[in-house]
Structure formats: structure tokens, C-alpha cells
Structure 1
């Protein structure tokens, strides 16, 4: 493994969605260095099989380790649902026992009981995240009295990735899925945005969401969880470099990523293209 003096926190997503998580990291923990990797050339992950998502995610994690990251956050719900556990239990002990990989599902689940009053929660996510039942299983472990309903929204990521989140087409698909999940369980009072792309659709979602329903976006909560993790694991915190820098890697066009990344983060982004295998 290549050894570098920089030791940034790695942030991985299949595309641009993880930038909504990175944005919260930069707000809450600006002192650390970050290295973002978007596997845009093979996105989206949401419709791919468990085996393919695992393999792509494992390759990305290995790449971030080789770039010097001792800690990697899977800022992607599909990767967290389909690959995190296997990487933690099977791969890390073999090729990087001192490194760590964390996801976005567990931090979200840990606080949901304090938000929902009716104990009926909805999860909006990709087909992969919903079919994995990861949210339902994790919530049942911690809060067995909560009823969880999942709704796959396969068009939402393409709308965001193609900068169509403000189009009339977005209205149609947002309203369609909100109507469907709320007709299935009218007692839902909390909706989890179970995909890191979905915050870009927040205005549209709120437009069609009945009053009294809480819309829960993950970014701030995941950032708070990372802060807590680092305070509880000084052995990892001390390994991280702290120059306040951010680098961006993409497996597709660097120019395209830079343009989209600038929209997501509201400041100039300069990406580099990289091949992962």
C-alpha cells in the first residue's frame, strides 16, 4: 500500500450525492483534510446487484486507502446497505486491519425514535437500498415498536445527476412516490431521505408533503456521528491530517464533476480523474 504523509478522511459515493454529506463535514469539522471519490463512470448503484455494489465499493475503499485515507465514510446509502458489513467483517481484517470504514445508515437510525411521534416511519431510497431492507432491519434492532415502510424512487437520482431537480418532470416523480408511500401507511409522520442525492429535491418534496410530517435529511446527523466517533477513538483521530484541505476524484469526466460539484457545494470544485479497479 502506498504511504502518504497526508491522511485525509475518505468520502465515497457512486456519484455526486455524497457531496451533501461532505458539505456537512466541512461545516462541522472543517479542520480535517478530506478526499472525495465519486464513481461517476459506473453510477448509479441503486439498481445493481449486491455482488456488483460490493465489488465496486471494495475497489473504491481500497483506492482511498492507497491515497492515504485511514478512515473512509461510505456517503452512499446503497453502498452502506449492500457492502459495508462485508467490508468491515471480511476485508478490513485481511488488508487494512488498522483502518476503518463507516456508513450512513446506522447514524440515521440511532436518532429516529426521538423524532417520530406515531412510530410510523417511511424511507425514501434507491431500489437497492429499499430491497436490502437495511433501514427496516436496523430500526427493528434498536426500536422494535417502530413500523417502517420503504419506497423505492428509481428516477430521483437520475433527475439530480442530470440537473433536472427543478424540472416539471421532477414534480411528477416526487408527487407520485410521496402519494404512494403515504397511501400505504397514512400514519407515517417521519420520512427519511435514504439517499444522499435526495436533499437536492427537498424543495420539491416539501411542496407535496402534508403538514405535520418531518422530513429527515442525513447530512448533519452523519457529521455529528463522525465528530462523536473521532472523540471516542483518539487513536484514529490522531492519525488524521488537519490542514483543512479538500480534494475531489472522479472515475468519469473531471470537467463534468467539477461543474456539478460546484453546484452541490456552492463553491468552486476542481476534480481529478482516476481509474479504480
Structure 2
């Protein structure tokens, strides 16, 4: 018998909703709580220590709501906070809880998407500066070359719904040009920010038709399916009534208005009060 616990899904803001949408598609019957830390977003330019503190606070809040498993659907949080939480917090304070991220599942499969063995990573400054993707990908595919490009203007463009307008062309072309300048033979671009799937149509205007553009939602969802199969002791803890609840540390009305852009349907959130 499953109890009423939920899978927690966390992001610094809205982007994690693109991952959450993919998870629900794969596992529609499970219970979920989504938390966006919109009051303190974006995380991309914060230090490791600040991102760790913010992420841990939100993870512990989700634990307190009855989430024995939390997915960090945020590349910056996965890059700057996940390992410290897994190694230094869970074993001592929450031995029966688990926190998973988005970087490792992507690194485990990305080699299958490149013929030239060269991939480009587009992400926030925080994710790019962490070097998490080159480090993790090398563990699984040491022959794959990874080049990175930080794209600080993409998140603001997306959150203001300007990402598919002609005004976005300058920045999209600039970031792609800088990426290809590093590796003209790359044949796969990883969107290492969960906001970026929304800008794929704009990216494709400037890319060759045979270029692989890889977003993380389906990869993370598939990895979670495998994880639950391999960890039945965790799977049994999760309720399966299709319950979904959304929380934001920001203004729920603002969150709800923007969230549908990422989630594809209307959302009614509640506010999580920061301590």
C-alpha cells in the first residue's frame, strides 16, 4: 500500500515546470508538490554558498511537506548544491530521504546524440562556471569534447515572453556564434537550463537542420522511472492519487500568470513563506 507522500520538484523559478511536465507525462499517477523559489530567482549569478543555502532551505521545506524524494529540476541548483546536500546533509539528518538532480541523468546518455563527439552546452553563468557538465560527461564519455556558452539574456527574454520575437534574434545569434567559434564541428547542443526548451523554435532559425538540440525534460523523466523501478523501497512511499500542488516563494498571482507558458496549462499556486 502506498501512503500519501509526494515527489517534490524544485526549481529556482519557472523553468523546472518544463521538467515537471515531462515527469507527469511518464508518471501521471504519482503525487507531486512543485516549489519555485521565485522570490530569490534567478539563481544563475549567485555564489555556490548562496545557492546551496537557498536550495537546502527549499529541499527541507519539501521534506516537511511529506516529500521523501525531491528532484532538483534546476541546473544551477544541481551544479552548486546537490552534491553537498547528498554528502553532508542527507546521511546525517535525513537518511531515508533522497535528492536527485538533472545533470547526471543527462551526462549518462548524451554520448548517444553526437556523431562528431563534440557537443555544445548552453546555460546560465552559474551552471557554465561550475564546469559540472564537462566533469560529469567526461566520466561517461571521455572521448566527447564539451564546449560551453553562458546565455544570461535568455531567461529574462523567456520570462517576459519575448523569446520568439525578432528582438531575441540578436542574443540568440550572438550566443550560437560564440558557441560555434569554440567548436565548428559540434553536432549537438544541450540546453542546460530548464527555461531554454521554450526558445527551441528561435534557435532552429539559426541552426542547420541536422543539428541535435537536446532539452532535459524527457531525459530526467526517463531517469526517474528507472530510479523508482530500481528503488522499490522509495517507490512504495509515494502516493498514487494524481495529486499535484504548486507553491512559490513569490507572488502566487504572478507565478500563475507566467507558469502556464512553461507548464502548458493553468496553474493555481499557494505561497511558501520564507523564514
TM-score, normalization: structure 1?
0.96
Give the number of equivalent residue pairs.
Answer: 273
**Residue 183 of structure 1: how far off its partner (Å):** 1.6
Gaps of 5+ in 2: none
Q: 2:229 aligns with which of 218, 228, 231?
A: 231
Aligned counterpart in structure 1 of residue 80 of structure 2, from 79, 82, 102: 82
Please give the alpha-carbon distance, in whole angstroms, between the structure 2 residues aligned to 1:84 and 1:151: 22
Aligned mate of 1:140, from 126, 138, 141 = 138
| Cross-structure match for 1:217 | 215
Match of 2:196? 198
Of 249, 258, 261 in structure 2, the residue corresponding to residue 263 of structure 1 is 261
Deviation at 1:260, TM superposition (A): 1.3
CA distance in 1 between counterparts of 2:241 and 2:29 reads 6
Q: 2:103 aligns with which of 95, 105, 113?
A: 105
After TM superposition, the structure 1 = structure 2 runs for residues 127-166 of structure 1, keeping only pairs within 5 Å, are 127-166=125-164
CA RMSD across the alignment? 1.0
State the match for 2:63 in structure 1: 65
Counterpart in 1 of 2:242? 244
Question: How far apart are 1:185 and its partner, in Å?
Answer: 0.6
Partner of 2:15: 17
Q: Secondary structure at 2:147's aligned position in 1?
A: strand
Consecutive unaligned residues of structure 1, counting only runs of 5 or more, are none
How far did residue 123 of structure 1 move?
0.4
> Within the alignment, does 1:35 sit opposite 2:33 as a pair?
yes
Please report the TM-score for the alignment, with normalisation by the length of structure 2. 0.97
d(CA) in 1 for partners of 2:260, 2:113: 32
Q: Distance in 1 between matches of 2:63 and 2:4?
A: 11
Q: Distance in 2 between matches of 1:201 and 1:220?
A: 17
Aligned equivalents of 1:122, 1:175: Cα separation in 2: 14
Match of 1:208, SS?
coil
Rounded Cα–Cα distance in structure 1 between residues aligned with 2:265 and 2:210: 34
After TM superposition, where is structure 1 displaced by more than 6 Å over at least 4 residues in a row? none
The whole-number CA distance in structure 1 between the counterparts of 2:171 and 2:201 is 14
